[in-house]
């Protein structure tokens, strides 16, 4: 299997063969357990190796949170990778999706018929070079709170994770709620990584449950993250709970 060569020592220890390309990975664990940070490490390496990344962060109010967080944590400045970074943003006020503005697309990702089209359009904004296109979606569990569309969008997400091998997917979900629905995504993914946190001091831990076509170690590791970044994770998690969940739950 073709793989992305990893450079972060703690991740190399877990995946000595590299990250499998054109597979789907689900990062799961309780809310606030650092799943997007793990994604940032992979995205940074992806960009350094000449690939493109479509960021789909459902919990962030603005892509600037991604840009600043990625640079602070990995040293990667998205401005240095013009034409290879795009953003797909959740906007439940739309009936479909808005026309792209530069490298950004707003879409009502709650709607199953919009989900796939929006991803295709966002991927069309970046070049298919190096290891290809990485679609990195975080906090996808937020969509499951919709009483109208929750189960339908779950089916659509599951189909994407299970069937689309044209590109690489790295999705994160919180298992703190809707655990029965999250299980369907865990079963559909090629690869499964589980994270959790400990308190006093606050630390992030993860282990690999399965990884397709490559050697991996199930040993649990602690992810090296500074206290300031961890506090930002908590702040964003609060934003999701207080604003995004009530909004989605009303649709």
Domains and CATH numbers, the chain: 3-249 (3.40.50.300)
Closest CA to 139 of 42, 224, 248: 248
What the block records as the tokens of 99 is 């026309």
State the average pLDDT for the chain.
90
Query: Is residue 227 scored above 70 in pLDDT?
Result: no
| Whether the Cβ atoms of residue 105 and residue 118 lie closer than 8 Å to each other | yes
Q: Residue 147's Cα: distance from chain center in Å? A: 23
pLDDT of residue 33: 67
Query: Is residue 43 scored above 80 in pLDDT?
Result: yes
Could you tell me where the beta strands, DSSP code E, fall in the chain? 3-4, 19-20, 24-29, 52-57, 85-90, 104-107, 133-138, 168-174, 191-198, 203-210, 221-223
CA angle 63, 146, 237 (to 5 degrees): 40
Whole-prediction pTM value?
0.93
What does the alpha-carbon distance between residue 1 and residue 6 come to, in Å, rounded to a whole number? 15
Render 24-90 in DSSP notation, one character per residue. Answer: EEEEEESTTS-HHHHHHHHHHHHHHTT-EEEEEETT-SSTHHHHHHHHHHH---GGGGTTSEEEEEE
The pLDDT tens digits of the residues spanning 10-34 come to 899 999 999 999 999 999 988 766 7
pLDDT of residue 36: 79
Query: Is residue 178 scored above 70 in pLDDT?
Result: yes
Query: Is residue 114 scored above 90 in pLDDT?
Result: yes
Query: Is residue 200 scored above 90 in pLDDT?
Result: no
What does the alpha-carbon distance between residue 105 and residue 90 come to, in Å, rounded to a whole number? 9
Query: Is residue 48 scored above 80 in pLDDT?
Result: yes
CA angle 186, 191, 196 (to 5 degrees): 65
Closest CA to 55 of 100, 99, 86: 86
What φ, ψ does residue 218 adopt, rounded to 5°?
Answer: -85, 0
The pLDDT tens digits of the residues spanning 55-97 come to 999 887 777 888 888 888 888 999 999 999 999 999 999 999 8
């Amino acid at each position: 299997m073709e793989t992305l060569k990893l450079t972060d020592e703690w991740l190399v220890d877990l995946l000595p063969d590299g990250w499998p390309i054109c597979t789907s990975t689900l990062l799961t664990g309780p809310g606030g357990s650092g799943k997007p940070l793990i994604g940032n490490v992979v995205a940074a390496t992806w960009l350094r190796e000449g690939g493109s990344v479509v960021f789909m962060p459902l919990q962030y109010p603005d892509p600037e949170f991604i840009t600043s967080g990625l640079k602070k944590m990995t040293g990667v400045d998205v401005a240095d990778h013009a034409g290879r970074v795009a953003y797909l943003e959740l906007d439940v006020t739309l009936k479909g999706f808005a026309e792209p503005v530069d490298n950004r697309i707003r879409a009502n990702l709650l709607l199953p018929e919009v989900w796939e089209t929006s991803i295709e359009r966002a991927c069309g904004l970046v070049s298919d070079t190096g290891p290809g296109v990485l679609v990195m979606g975080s906090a996808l569990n937020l969509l499951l709170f919709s009483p109208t569309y929750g189960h339908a969008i779950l089916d659509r997400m599951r189909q994407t994770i299970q069937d689309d091998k044209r590109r690489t997917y790295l999705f994160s979900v919180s298992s703190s709620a809707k655990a029965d629905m999250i299980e369907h995504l865990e079963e559909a993914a090629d690869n499964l990584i589980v994270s959790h946190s400990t308190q006093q001091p606050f630390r992030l831990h993860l282990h690999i449950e399965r990884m397709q076509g490559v050697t991996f170690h199930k040993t649990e590791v602690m992810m090296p993250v500074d206290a300031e970044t961890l506090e930002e994770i908590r702040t964003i998690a609060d934003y999701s709970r207080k604003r995004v969940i009530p909004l989605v739950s009303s649709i």
